[in-house]
Amino acid sequence: MDFSSKKIKLTNKKKVAVVGGGLVGGLNACFLAKRGFEVTVFESREDIRCAKTIKGKSINLALSHRGRQALKHVGMEDKIVSNGIPMHARMIHSVNGKCSPIPYGRKGQYILSVGRANLNKELLTAAEAYPNTQLNFNHKLLDWNPETGTMTFLGPDGTEKDFQADLIVGCDGAFSATRKQFLRRSRFDYSQTYIPHGYLELTMPPRNGDFAMKPNFLHIWPRNTFMMIALPNMDKTFTCTLFMPFEEFEKITTGDELMAHFQKYFQDSIPLFGVDVLKRDFFQLPAQAMVSVKCSPHHLNEKCILMGDAAHAVVPFYGQGMNAGFEDCLVFDEILDQFNEDLSAVLPEYSRVRVPDDHAICDLAMYNYIEMRAHVNSRYFLFRKYLDNVLHFFMPRTIIPLYTMVTFTRTRYHEAVIRWKWQNKVITQGLLLLGTMSAAGATYLLVKYIPQKSTGSVEQLWNKLLTLKWFQK
Q: Can you give the binding site for its own copies, defined by CB under 8 A?
A: 186-194, 289
CA 65 vs CA 112, 273, 411: distances in Å: 10, 32, 11
Nearer to its own copies, 192 or 424 (CB): 192
Nearer to its own copies, 271 or 286 (CB): 286
Nearer to its own copies, 127 or 174 (CB): 174
CA distance 308 to 68: 15
To the nearest whole angstrom, how small is the minimum distance from the Cβ of residue 193 to its own copies? 5
To the nearest whole angstrom, how small is the minimum distance from the Cβ of residue 56 to its own copies? 14
To the nearest whole angstrom, how small is the minimum distance from the Cβ of residue 149 to its own copies? 25
Nearer to its own copies, 189 or 235 (CB): 189
Q: Bridge partners of 189?
A: 296
Nearer to its own copies, 187 or 453 (CB): 187
CA distance 201 to 60: 10
Q: Are strands 150-154 and 140-144 parallel, antiparallel or unpaired?
A: antiparallel
- Per the CB < 8 A criterion, the answer to whether 127 and 243 are in contact is no
Closest CA to 101 of 90, 110, 109, 93: 90
To the nearest whole angstrom, how small is the minimum distance from the Cβ of residue 361 to its own copies? 18
CA 136 vs CA 10, 41, 57, 141, 142: distances in Å: 20, 6, 21, 12, 15
To the nearest whole angstrom, how small is the minimum distance from the Cβ of residue 172 to its own copies? 16
To the nearest whole angstrom, how small is the minimum distance from the Cβ of residue 195 to its own copies? 9
Would you give the distance in Å from CA 370 to the centre of its chain? 15
- Per the CB < 8 A criterion, the answer to whether 242 and 269 are in contact is no
To the nearest whole angstrom, how small is the minimum distance from the Cβ of residue 407 to its own copies? 29
Give the N- to C-terminal CA distance of the chain in Å, as an integer.
67
Nearer to its own copies, 98 or 187 (CB): 187
- Per the CB < 8 A criterion, the answer to whether 193 and 201 are in contact is no
Nearer to its own copies, 193 or 338 (CB): 193
- Per the CB < 8 A criterion, the answer to whether 368 and 109 are in contact is no
